Structure 1
Amino acid sequence: MCDNDAASMEHVPPVCLFPEIKDTKGINFRKNLIKVPSCDIHNSKKSDDDEFLLFSLTGLITNNTVGKFHFYSKVNRAIRRKNKDFINKQVLRNHKYGIVKINNEEKLISIGHPDAERLAKCFEHIAHGLYYHKFGKRFIGEIFMINGFIDYKDSNQQMLKKFMKRRFELETVLNEDFQGDNPSVFYYQFHKPDEHGLIAVKMVFYGTAEVYVCFKAKEIEMPHNLTTELIGGGVKTIMTLGDEEFPFND
C-alpha cells in the first residue's frame, strides 16, 4: 500500500477471520492463506482494525454456519473480556438490543449503525493485498467500494448497491472462477478489465457478506459520464441492466 520497506508478511484477509483448529475440533479453515509483504504500519499496527472487522463480520445474522460458529466461540470469548461499552463504542453506534424471528425462533440481536468509514478502511487493505497477490505489483490509483451487506440511508447509494450486485451476478460467468481455499470463510473473484481499464473484484465473507471493489489505476482518465452527472445533480435517472431498471433520484 505504500513505499515503505516490507517488514513482515500480512494475511489477506486478516488471519483472525479464520477459525482456529482448537475451536473446530480438527477442521482446518486456514488452508493456504494468502500472504503479501507489508510494512509495520500496514500490518502489526492495525491489529485493532482487524479485531473490529472480525466483530463486525461475524456478528451478521445472515452469516453461514461457519461465521455463526466463529462468533459464538472466539468472538464471544473476546467480548466477555471487554468492558460493557465496547460494542457501542467500537463496533456499532447507537447500539441497542432487539428481537427478531429466525426460522420461527425468536433471537436476541444487537442493532446499530456500523462504522462504515472504518469498514471501508479495512476492506481497502484487503483489496490492495488481493491486487498484489494476483498481479505481483502494488496498486496505485483510486479504489471505489460498495458494501453489499449494509443498508444505506441514502437512497441513491442503496440503489447503486443493488445495481452493482446485479451487474456482478450477470458478469460472473464471463470472468475467472471464484478463488480462495477456505470459501466458507472467504472467497473472491476478479473481473476482466472493462472498456476503460477499470478492474473489479467481488469479496465474500462467511457466505453472504459481499463487498464490491473497483480499481481505477492512476494512469486511467475516465471519459465524460452524463449519467453520473445527472444522478449527482438530482435529476431522475434510470439505469438498465438487461430488462431490469434501477431508478435514481426517484
Structure 2
Amino acid sequence: MSCYYCEKPATGMEHVPPQSFFIKGQRDGLISVPSCDVHNQQKSKDDEYVRAVLLSSAKLDGKEQLAPLFEVHLRALNRAGEQIPGRLKSEEDFQKFLEIAEKFKDDHAAGMKSFSELAQAGIGTGLLGLLSVDYRDEVIFDNDGNEQQTISYAFDTKRFNNFFKSMAKGLFFHESDWAWLGKVVLLPHSFLREEASEDEKFISKHYSSQLVRDDAKGEHKDVFYYDVGTELDSSGKEILRYVVNFCLYDTFEFTALLESKYFVASPEPR
C-alpha cells in the first residue's frame, strides 16, 4: 500500500479526522487511510494541538453533546499545567514563575496568561503555552445574553492549515483511491479574516453553502461530516477542480480545492 499523502510505502493506517477528535464509545465507522510514518505517527502532536484549538473556542459553548470531549480537553490542559514545576531548571526560572503567578493572581484568566508569559520567558509550557500566544482580553456574551470575560489568542496558522490540508487529502484518497500530490487551496470558512475582501467573502459563502449536513457523509455528524465533488468547465466535459467540503463539531467549516492545474502525476505506477 502507498501513503495517502506522498505515495511512499505505507507503514500503518491513519484516521481522518484523527480518532481522538471523536467521543470514546462513538468511534465506529471512522475513515482510515494508509499512511507512512511521517504522515501519521509523527504528526500526533499536531492532532492534539488542533483539537485543543477547536475545543477551546467559544463557538462551541452550549454544545452539551460534546461534553465528553471537553472533559478530555481539560484533563490534557491540567496535565500540561502539572508538568510546569518539573520544567523549572534554575533558581531564576523559579523566581520568574513566582513573579508571574503574583502578577496575575487576581485575574479572571490568570492561568492562560501565566502560561503565555512563562513561554515567552523561555520556560517550557507545552500545550498550554501554545494555546495562550499573543493573548488579549475579550468580552463575549453567553447563550443567556450575559457578559463573560475571557481571552483570545493567536494560533499557529501554518500548522493549523497544513493539518486541514492533510485531512482533505485523506478524504480525497478515501473517496478516489489515489493520492493527490499537487497543491491544496484551503478555505477555512469559520476562520475567515475580518479584513477579508468582498470577493473572498463571496467565494467562502459559495463553497460553505454546498455542504448540507443532512446530505453529507459521516457516521457521527455531531463531530464530523463531509462531501467530495467536482466542478466542470463550461463544456461540462473537463474537471476544473475537486472540491472537498467538511465540518468539525457541527461548527467549523472548511473547503479544500484540488485544482486540475495543480495536478502532479505520480512518479511511478501505484
Q: TM-score normalised to the size of structure 1?
A: 0.74
Find 1:102's aligned residue among 142, 155, 172: 142
Which blocks of at least 5 consecutive residues in structure 2 are unaligned? 82-114, 117-124, 234-238, 265-270
User: Is residue 2:245 matched to residue 1:202?
Assistant: yes
Contact 1:88 / 1:94 at 8 angstroms: preserved in 2? no
> How many matched pairs?
210
Change (3 A) 1:155 1:219: closer
User: Is residue 2:220 matched to residue 1:182?
Assistant: yes
Find 1:163's aligned residue among 179, 196, 202: 202
Contact 1:58 / 1:67 at 8 angstroms: preserved in 2? no
2:20 maps to a residue whose letter is C
Contact 2:226 / 2:247 at 8 angstroms: preserved in 1? yes
Aligned residue in 2 for 1:81 = 79
* Pairwise CA distance, 1:31: 2.2
* Pairwise CA distance, 1:51: 0.3
Aligned residue in 2 for 1:225 = none
Change (3 A) 1:149 1:171: closer
1:90 maps to a residue whose letter is L
Q: TM-score normalised to the size of structure 2?
A: 0.69
Equivalences for 1:35-54 in 2 at 5 Å?
A: 35-54=32-51
Answer 1 or 2: which has greater helix percent. Answer: 2
User: Is residue 2:142 matched to residue 1:144?
Assistant: no
Contact 1:149 / 1:209 at 8 angstroms: preserved in 2? yes
Task: Measure the CA separation in 1 of the matches of 2:263 and 2:22.
Answer: 36
Change (3 A) 1:197 1:92: farther
Find 2:162's aligned residue among 107, 121, 127: 121
* Pairwise CA distance, 1:135: 0.2
- Give the structure with higher Rg (CA): 2
User: Is residue 2:258 matched to residue 1:215?
Assistant: yes
Task: Measure the CA separation in 1 of the matches of 2:132 and 2:44.
Answer: 18
Change (3 A) 1:81 1:165: same
SS in 1 for 2:153: strand
Contact 2:208 / 2:255 at 8 angstroms: preserved in 1? no
Change (3 A) 1:194 1:90: farther
* Pairwise CA distance, 1:160: 4.6
Contact 1:179 / 1:188 at 8 angstroms: preserved in 2? yes
Aligned residue in 2 for 1:3 = 7
Find 1:91's aligned residue among 123, 128, 131: 131
Contact 2:14 / 2:34 at 8 angstroms: preserved in 1? yes
Change (3 A) 1:67 1:161: farther
Greater shift in the superposed pair: 114-123 or 87-96:
87-96
Contact 2:13 / 2:33 at 8 angstroms: preserved in 1? yes
Find 2:55's aligned residue among 42, 58, 80: 58
Answer 1 or 2: which has greater strand percent. Answer: 1
Contact 2:190 / 2:252 at 8 angstroms: preserved in 1? yes
1:10 maps to a residue whose letter is E
2:78 maps to a residue whose letter is R
Contact 1:180 / 1:187 at 8 angstroms: preserved in 2? yes
Contact 1:148 / 1:209 at 8 angstroms: preserved in 2? yes
